[in-house]
Amino acid sequence: MPLEVRTTATLAEAASLLQSERAARFMAGGTLMMRAVNEGDVSFSTIVRTSDPAFVRVRAAGGRIELGAGVTMAQVLASRELAFLHPAARAVGGPAVRTMATVGGNLFAAHPYGDFATALLALDARVQLASGFGAREVPLEDLLRGRERGPRQLVAAVSFERPADPAAFRFRKMTRTHPKGPAVLTIAAWLPTSGGRVSGARVAFGAMAPFPIRARAVERALEGRLLSAEGVAPAVAAAAREGDPPTDPIASAWYRQRVVGVVLRRLLLGEL
Ligand SMILES: Cc1cc2nc3c(=O)[nH]c(=O)nc-3n(C[C@H](O)[C@H](O)[C@H](O)COP(=O)(O)OP(=O)(O)OC[C@H]3O[C@@H](n4cnc5c(N)ncnc54)[C@H](O)[C@@H]3O)c2cc1C
């Protein structure tokens, strides 16, 4: 079936096209979309792209960081301001994939992908949605929860507060094939402390559910605790009860539930 490719000058035009044409699908880096094209996916007949400069813009100088949805993992890795996000960007595929793979595309990548989205979730990111009538913002958690239902929305950008202490942001991906396999599971955590005790932690799990999730029971169990073996024990015990991990060729749900506590403990204690 012939495919039409339409490139718009603005995000708003791209959003309008996607809203008006049911058979239109947005393409950013194309690492997953081109696979769909090559495999003969007939669920779309128009590919929408945009050359809007805002789509690929990084604003990292102030207290709030904004990444255009078309920013690639390679762009993140090239920014010193975004050094705390380098482990998450480096977790996405190999160098060739990272050159094309975008922040926005990662929010829609099916399980077990979504490593960067997991990091953004722990940063409590907000998502800017483009439409023909102007932009609006929603929490990333809501977008991820609703991404399988309802009409596909065009993400223009994501934004989040710059971590006051970058060392309080931690990321870890467990994979079977190194250095670039799909995730058995991914954990990202924002762990601010007050007087040595955790205060206001945010913990996100990737590949532990059909989409990246916040691990609320783990967060509650960490509140007021020291990041010591004894202090993190209740959070580690809570980890296996979070999510609903799918079974896939990478790992079974059973295995994911058993190893998530081990990976979480290592991340919380800063162990290798
Ligand atoms: C070999 C290989 C290895 C990979 N390894 C990993 C990995 O280790 N970790 C990982 O997380 N991912 C991995 N991926 C998946 C993928 O490369 C990334 O998730 C990437 O970030 C997807 O971004 P993209 O721009 O290429 O998406 P595209 O292929 O352009 O699009 C993917 C989907 O997202 C939608 N989309 C894209 N941008 C937007 C937007 N702004 N608004 C709304 N919808 C949008 C598209 O319509 C499409 O449905 C891998 C892929 C390949 C091919």
Q: Residue 132 has what pLDDT?
A: 77
pLDDT at 31 over 80: yes
pLDDT interval class at 149 (50, 70, 90): confident
pTM: 0.97
Distance CA 189, CA 207 (A): 15
Give residue 167 CA to ligand 1 midpoint distance, Å: 28
Ligand 1 pocket member 69 (CB < 6 A): yes
Q: Which domains does the chain have, with CATH numbers?
A: 1-108+124-162 (3.30.465.10), 166-269 (3.30.390.50)
The pair phi, psi for residue 138, each rounded to 5°, is -135, 155
Q: Tell me the pairing of strands 169-175 and 183-190.
A: antiparallel
Take atom 25 of ligand 1 and give the residue whose Cα is closest: 29
Q: Do residues 125 and 92 lie in contact, with contact meaning Cβ atoms separated by under 8 Å?
A: no
Q: List, for residues 192-212, the tens digit of each pLDDT value.
A: 999 999 999 999 999 999 999
Average pLDDT of every residue of the chain: 95
Q: Do residues 185 and 264 lie in contact, with contact meaning Cβ atoms separated by under 8 Å?
A: no
In 10 A of CB 110, how many CB atoms? 12
How confident is the model over 236-255, as a mean pLDDT? 95
Distance CA 26, CA 266 (A): 38
pLDDT at 53 over 80: yes
Tokens of 242: 């979070």
Give residue 2 CA to ligand 1 midpoint distance, Å: 23
How confident is the model over 10-29, as a mean pLDDT? 95
Ligand 1 pocket member 105 (CB < 6 A): yes
Ligand 1 pocket member 190 (CB < 6 A): no
The residues facing 172 across adjacent strands are: 187
Give residue 111 CA to ligand 1 midpoint distance, Å: 11
Distance CA 53, CA 64 (A): 19
pLDDT at 98 over 80: yes
Give residue 24 CA to ligand 1 midpoint distance, Å: 17
Q: Which of 31, 153, 184 to mutate to test the pocket of ligand 1 (most atoms within 8 A of CB)?
A: 31
Ligand 1 pocket member 37 (CB < 6 A): no
Ligand 1 pocket member 24 (CB < 6 A): no
Classified as helix, coil or strand, 4 is strand
Q: Which of 25, 55, 103, 113 to mutate to test the pocket of ligand 1 (most atoms within 8 A of CB)?
A: 113
C-alpha torsion sign, points 95, 126, 242, 264:
positive
Classified as helix, coil or strand, 103 is helix
